[in-house]
Structure 1
Amino acid sequence: MDLGLTALELARIQFAFTVSFHIIFPATSIGLACFLAVLEWKWLRSHNPIYQDLYKYWLKIFAVTFGMGVVSGVVMSYQFGTNWSEFSRIAGSITGPLLTYEVLSAFFLEAGFLGIMLFGWGRVSEKAHFFATFMVAIGTCISMFWILSSNSWMQTPQGFSIEDGIIVPQDWFAIVFNPSFPYRFAHMAVAAFLVSALVIAATAAWHLIRGRRDELVKKSFSMAMWMILFAAPAQVLIGDHHGLNTLKYQPAKLAAMEGHWETNVDEPMPLYLFGIPDMQEETTKYAVGIPYLGSLILTHSLDGEVKGLKEFAPEDRPNSTLVFWSFRIMVGLGTLMVLLAVVGLWLRKKERIYENKWFHKFALIMGPTGYIALLAGWFTTEIGRQPWVVYGVLRTEDALSNVSANQVGITLIIFVLVYTVVFGTGIYYILKLMYKGPQFIHTPVEEQGGVGHFRTPMRPLSAVEDSLETKDQTKGE
């Protein structure tokens, strides 16, 4: 079977496909886990059943996304041995321990408390259950910490030496807290909160459009909009500092993101809003730019110097055509998120946030944009790093296993088919839950299974209709 692509190209496509599927689930579960912790904390303080009902509803969606995130992550990690064994051989002494720390400190923590979080209602005390929820939320953030540390080290490597062609760790503090890690960790964390907040807001907006005005829907919408109001502007600020870091440590990536070919010596650099970078002709065609703005944003001065792509050898340049547009998709959607937050604040002040259908439609449309911006950001980061898998140290082509194009092509096709069926089913179930929306429970305490909690079904990931069940079975049944 000849797909007309090399083994290297197919291996990169396969990893891009699996990581793109994977990243949307952890991003959702990180945000939802923290949202669930807030809901249960507010319920413990007020015993307002609205928070309890919302917790039970979003817990099901969290469980599905968490499970799919774990499965897709395991599949992705196996590719380090199948397609990228040379990367594992050369850089495994650093990336291996970092991923091990993630498993030991985060995955075990999540797995240890997840069962209590999902099935502990009525079986443990209120505080014990909240502690389990809190530990799962902390675990998702710790997992993000180690994954981002590993990936950031590949972007800005330090704290190592090379002995007999093998990367050997020398300073673990420098490795973990490498130059790009603080910015990329903050950027990803806020992105996860934005992804979840936009999904929650869109779900509530859908039911507001359909005429629901109960407290479950209004509370979901209100809490999500507050998070977007905080996270969207914060992301802009973090993104600016991340850009300055990229300019310092990965200037070729920055030049590709801006479609910037010539170094602007003693003259301002424009910011291109539109253009088509041509890698062969070394120019950005049909460029539409704003004078001075490029230098101002990238260097915080009107005539700051920024290296152009021509300063780097052709074989060391990332694909500007792809990176240029993936970056603009991310920034454009981020701008719309800020607009959504500002309009929402204005409508809240006017006491019309639950009545303006145009705004609800806007929030509904914005629901999936968190995922699109997230993927666009990852494409910018990973494609912009090329042709290096460890920036400036190990080339991607030298990290490939001894595999043929046919071997990688066949597994890629299998991945596409299996992922479509398995994760398509999971996504369909999540959408079905969102379509149904949160339901009132308000069951008396004595019918909830004990210690002030609602009854939890005994089978995991129970059907949607279980949310309407309010009576326990008798002991003899």
Structure 2
Amino acid sequence: MTLGLTALELARVQFAFTVSFHIIFPAISIGLAGFLAVLEWRWLKTKNPVYQDLFKFWVKIFAVAFGMGVVSGVVMSYQFGTNWSEFSRIAGSVTGPLLAYEVLSAFFLEAGFLGIMLFGWGRVGPRAHFFATLMVAIGTCISMFWILSSNSWMQTPQGFSIENGIIVPQDWLAIVFNPSFPYRLAHMAAAAFLVAALLVASASAWHLLKGRRDALVKKSFSMALWLILVLAPLQVLIGDNHGLNTLKHQPAKLAAIEGHWETNKNEAMPLYLFGIPDMQEERTKYAVGIPYLGSLIMTHTLEGEVKGLKEFAPEDRPNSLVVFWSFRIMVAMGMLMLLLAVVGLWLRKTGKFYESQWFHRFAFLMGPSGFIALLAGWFTTEVGRQPWVVYNVLRTKDALSSVSASQVGLTLLIFVVVYCIVFGIGIYYMLKLMHKGPEFIHADPVEHGGVQHIETPMRPMSAVEDSLDEQDDQQEKRHD
């Protein structure tokens, strides 16, 4: 059951597994909440029913993702008490209040307006409903603010003292706005909106490939590609500044990411495109690099000095093999997003944006790229922080609870089984909804080929169930 792993290794695997599942759903919620707010704003401004119909479709996806995000997030907090009680005891006076602020300011805001957003059509005025949607969207961003502040403090801690082995907060402004926080917040925000934009683009591309050319599909595809065109290059700029911040505050992480072992004194550092870092032999095997580019990217000078991993004690080095490749996977996904956006802009100019099947296939296949980049980025930043749970303050091994490998292994097995069943069903449900696609509800029947009436649902999941049943009935009638 333990596979020869220690309790520490199993606890890290368990946390990585649960947080990898969890981060997907808040990213969808953050991005889709903003998309929904824009859709409703455009509907209020133009009265074009297409925006309202798109809102009523994507709000179902948002509702499922939001629910799964809440459920998976509860598990994360329990692990601090079960597997990582020493971390809670030593650093809880900082991380505890930050997470409490998230609940008090963000979760209550979201919970207070979520019901109006989901079920308020026809029961409150249009402006009141838009206000509720806006509050939910703002709430998701506030939640991201506090979570990233807590995690960034663990990466670049400041504003505290240590008394009797316990971390004691001294300056809350310094704690909240720690050195890496602005860059990591911007990086995560852009990532979340890219996740949602790629999801919308992929779902729309699927229906374009199936022959749909109605306003609902074309409008959502167009809006998603415009957002990707803005965010993909912006994310590159944010990532560059984040890298400079990492070089200053976490040089061991950056050396591991680049797979460099020797400090490049008085010479340029290449950028390795390929290699296999070997932690035992202290070298990167089969390295293929571009001269000067490493120094140029990391220091913005042709011969800028960057510390190699040998500058750090072996016990203080992150696993270079993991972060070397997770970082490159993230960058590769980012370059593909940029390519998608640029090609999309070119096709707009040539008038083939809605007719190019190879481009629609490309957009459809890019749907998972946002999630892949998101997870690869989090693996890079979290594995790159090791062996510290609070960088240069508290080692991960000293944050572990007094648990045995068999105990952690058993709970890990339970998590894997339950998560795969519960969230597998949820993800399947979302995919089935996207497969059905948006339907016209309020649009003009002459212009868009049919109108469908939907009452506002009284139960959370009835919005999904009723929609699927009605669409199945329509398909059966068409076949008859």
Q: TM-score range by the shorter chain?
A: over 0.9
Check conservation: 1:433, 1:464, Cα contact below 8 A: no
SS at match of 1:385: coil
Check conservation: 1:198, 1:367, Cα contact below 8 A: yes
Check conservation: 2:433, 2:468, Cα contact below 8 A: no
Once the two structures are superposed, the pairs formed by residues 393-432 of structure 1 within 5 Å of their partners are: 393-432=393-432
Cα distance in 2 between the residues matched to 1:394 and 1:19: 21
- Once the two structures are superposed, residues 96-117 of structure 1 have per-residue CA deviations (whole angstroms, 9 ceiling, x without a partner) of 0000000000000000000000
- Once the two structures are superposed, residues 107-166 of structure 1 have per-residue CA deviations (whole angstroms, 9 ceiling, x without a partner) of 000000000001111111111100000000000000000000000000000000000000
Cα distance in 1 between the residues matched to 2:470 and 2:337: 38
Cα distance in 2 between the residues matched to 1:373 and 1:402: 34
SS at match of 2:306: coil
Identical amino acids, percent of aligned pairs: 81
Check conservation: 1:441, 1:467, Cα contact below 8 A: no
Q: Does 1:20 align with 2:17?
A: no
Give the aligned partner of residue 172 of structure 1. 172
Cα distance in 2 between the residues matched to 1:106 and 1:222: 31
Cα distance in 2 between the residues matched to 1:246 and 1:346: 35
Check conservation: 1:443, 1:454, Cα contact below 8 A: no
Cα distance in 2 between the residues matched to 1:236 and 1:343: 17
SS at match of 1:101: helix
Check conservation: 1:439, 1:468, Cα contact below 8 A: no
Give the aligned partner of residue 4 of structure 2. 4
Cα distance in 2 between the residues matched to 1:434 and 1:28: 14
Quote how far apart the aligned CAs of 1:443 are: 7.2
Q: Which runs of 4+ in 1 moved over 2 A?
A: 463-470
Cα distance in 1 between the residues matched to 2:206 and 2:152: 38
Check conservation: 1:121, 1:454, Cα contact below 8 A: no
Give the aligned partner of residue 296 of structure 1. 296
CA distance 1:342–1:2, shift in 2 (3 Å) = closer
Q: Does 1:287 align with 2:274?
A: no
Check conservation: 1:36, 1:59, Cα contact below 8 A: yes
Q: Does 1:466 align with 2:467?
A: yes
Cα distance in 2 between the residues matched to 1:55 and 1:459: 18
Q: Does 1:264 align with 2:264?
A: yes
Check conservation: 1:43, 1:52, Cα contact below 8 A: yes
Check conservation: 2:206, 2:364, Cα contact below 8 A: yes
Cα distance in 1 between the residues matched to 2:178 and 2:70: 26
Check conservation: 2:2, 2:10, Cα contact below 8 A: no
Check conservation: 1:441, 1:468, Cα contact below 8 A: no
Amino acid paired to 2:467:
D
Cα distance in 2 between the residues matched to 1:264 and 1:131: 55
What 5-or-longer segments of structure 1 have no aligned partner? 445-452, 471-477
Cα distance in 1 between the residues matched to 2:311 and 2:372: 32
Cα distance in 1 between the residues matched to 2:293 and 2:192: 29
Check conservation: 2:161, 2:170, Cα contact below 8 A: yes
Give the aligned partner of residue 138 of structure 1. 138
Quote how far apart the aligned CAs of 1:3 are: 2.3
Check conservation: 2:49, 2:443, Cα contact below 8 A: no
Give the aligned partner of residue 342 of structure 2. 342
Give the aligned partner of residue 48 of structure 1. 48
CA distance 1:327–1:2, shift in 2 (3 Å) = closer
Once the two structures are superposed, the pairs formed by residues 227-266 of structure 1 within 5 Å of their partners are: 227-266=227-266
Amino acid paired to 1:137:
A
Cα distance in 1 between the residues matched to 2:19 and 2:83: 14
Give the aligned partner of residue 309 of structure 1. 309
Cα distance in 1 between the residues matched to 2:16 and 2:418: 16
Quote how far apart the aligned CAs of 1:467 are: 6.7
What 5-or-longer segments of structure 2 have no aligned partner? 445-452, 472-480
Cα distance in 1 between the residues matched to 2:335 and 2:470: 43
Cα distance in 2 between the residues matched to 1:2 and 1:31: 38
Amino acid paired to 1:182:
P
Give the aligned partner of residue 113 of structure 2. 113
Cα distance in 2 between the residues matched to 1:140 and 1:360: 30
SS at match of 1:27: helix
Amino acid paired to 2:359:
F
Check conservation: 1:37, 1:133, Cα contact below 8 A: yes
Aligned residues: 462
Give the aligned partner of residue 474 of structure 2. none
Cα distance in 1 between the residues matched to 2:311 and 2:470: 67
- Once the two structures are superposed, residues 59-94 of structure 1 have per-residue CA deviations (whole angstroms, 9 ceiling, x without a partner) of 000000000000000011100000000000000000
In the superposition, the TM-score normalised over structure 2's length comes to 0.95
Amino acid paired to 1:6:
T
Amino acid paired to 2:202:
A
Cα distance in 2 between the residues matched to 1:325 and 1:99: 31
In the superposition, the TM-score normalised over structure 1's length comes to 0.95
